[in-house]
Amino acid sequence: MHPIVKLVAQRLALGLLLLFAASILIFAGTSILPGDVAQQILGQSATPEALENLRRELGLNEPAITRYFSWLGGVMQGDLGTALTNGRDIAESLGTRLSNTLFLAFWAAVIAVPLAITLGLLAVRYKDRWPDKVISAVTLTTISIPEFMIGYVLIFFLSIQLPQLINGMEFLSDGVRNWMLSNLRFSSVALMNDSMTLIEKIKSITLPIMVLTLVVLAHMMRMTRAAILNVMQSAYIETAELKGLGMLKIIRKHAFPNAIAPIVNVVMINLAYLVVGVVVVEVVFAYPGMGQYLVDHVAKRDIPVVQACGLIFAAVYIGLNLVADIVSILANPRLRHPK
């Protein structure tokens, strides 16, 4: 068997094993949560007989191992179960929520990934000079601030202060002022519905996109910078310099292609974060994604919904890390061309 095929098969098997282990942890973690689901559904005035009947109906009296394999069997058949609080099919409810989360993550990635790589290349080009120092300082500052803090700061300045500032510009004509208010208005609530056009949807999620971009930018930029600087110490880079090639050309044609494996790894990890780690951002902006859906049902102690969301998040995170591993394997010439 070819070494690449063998390694890819091993990574896929490891990914399935990790997902199975994650399902066990998710089920065990939700099973030991405090509180009573039946009490939450029926309320504090429910009689002991009614509570016992509901627990029996929901299968809560069965052993944990029985409930786990019953749940896992349903998941493997595409059945995520039914929400306890409203009786709706979880897969149907999650469909729209997941698409909203992926929509937000996609547009954040479209901006963050090229911007991070570009800033990393600029930092290498001007290593230890003021552009490198400014880029590093700004990105490190943004990654040091919690997401909710960045979100509230952007809401304050762009949703509240900016319209007031524009209204106070009396030297502008009414037409210009109205145009600025219409096009530079940032909503503090990220609404999303099917009747909105693509432009309206993107405009609605501008602030969440900004927050996510600032959060993941530093990690990708610094890894790009470190990976390229590591390659720049190679002998063939020195040979290219001796041939008289410009620094930008050396970075673009020689250093960057050979540093792609670690860069892809960090990009995939941050893409996974954009999907899995958006819970705080979705709550801050009341965005109707999976994170908000998860938080709402944690408060209601709706265990099947929490389990389904946790398993989907785990699958996305493990899947994107698998993609990063496979790309790193394919980018290794020693594996592509074994002796």
Q: Which pairs with CB-CB distance under 8 Å and at least 24 residues apart come from 294-298? A: 297/83, 297/85
Beta bridge partners of 89: 82
- Would you say 285 and 188 are in contact if contact means Cβ atoms under 8 Å apart? yes
CATH of the domain at 332: 1.10.3720.10
Q: What per-residue confidence (pLDDT) applies to 125?
A: 85
CA neighbor of 312 nearest in space, from 289, 337, 334: 289
Tokens representing 206 are 């501008």
pLDDT digits (tens, 9 = 90+) for 178-189: 777 777 778 888
In Å, the largest CA–CA distance within the chain is 86
Beta bridge partners of 82: 89
Host domain of residue 229? 3-34+80-336
* DSSP conformational letter for 82: B
Q: What per-residue confidence (pLDDT) applies to 107?
A: 93
- Would you say 209 and 108 are in contact if contact means Cβ atoms under 8 Å apart? yes
- Would you say 143 and 219 are in contact if contact means Cβ atoms under 8 Å apart? yes
The mean pLDDT value for 315-320 works out to 90
Q: Which pairs with CB-CB distance under 8 Å and at least 24 residues apart come from 195-200? A: none
Count of all residues that appear for the chain in the document: 339
- Would you say 100 and 192 are in contact if contact means Cβ atoms under 8 Å apart? yes
Half-sphere exposure of 34 (CA within 13 A, CB side): 0
Specify the 3-state DSSP secondary structure of 229: helix
Q: 57 lies in a domain?
A: no
Q: 202 lies in a domain?
A: yes
Q: 64 lies in a domain?
A: no
Q: What per-residue confidence (pLDDT) applies to 334?
A: 61
Residue type at 36 in one-letter notation: D
Q: 283 lies in a domain?
A: yes
- The top-scoring range by mean pLDDT among 87-91, 182-186, 208-212 is 208-212
Q: What per-residue confidence (pLDDT) applies to 333?
A: 64
**Tally of structural domains, the chain:** 1
pLDDT digits (tens, 9 = 90+) for 100-150: 999 999 999 999 999 999 998 888 888 888 988 999 898 888 888 888 899
Q: 267 lies in a domain?
A: yes
C-alpha–C-alpha distance, residues 159 and 140, integer Å: 25
C-alpha–C-alpha distance, residues 151 and 330, integer Å: 38
Q: 8 lies in a domain?
A: yes
Q: 111 lies in a domain?
A: yes
Tokens representing 37 are 């689901």
Q: 167 CB contacts (<8 Å, ≥6 apart)?
A: 177, 181
Q: 7 lies in a domain?
A: yes
Which residue would you say has higher pLDDT here, 285 or 41? 285
Q: What per-residue confidence (pLDDT) applies to 121?
A: 87
User: Using CA atoms in the order 61, 82, 75, 276, what is the torsion angle rounded to 10 degrees?
Assistant: -110
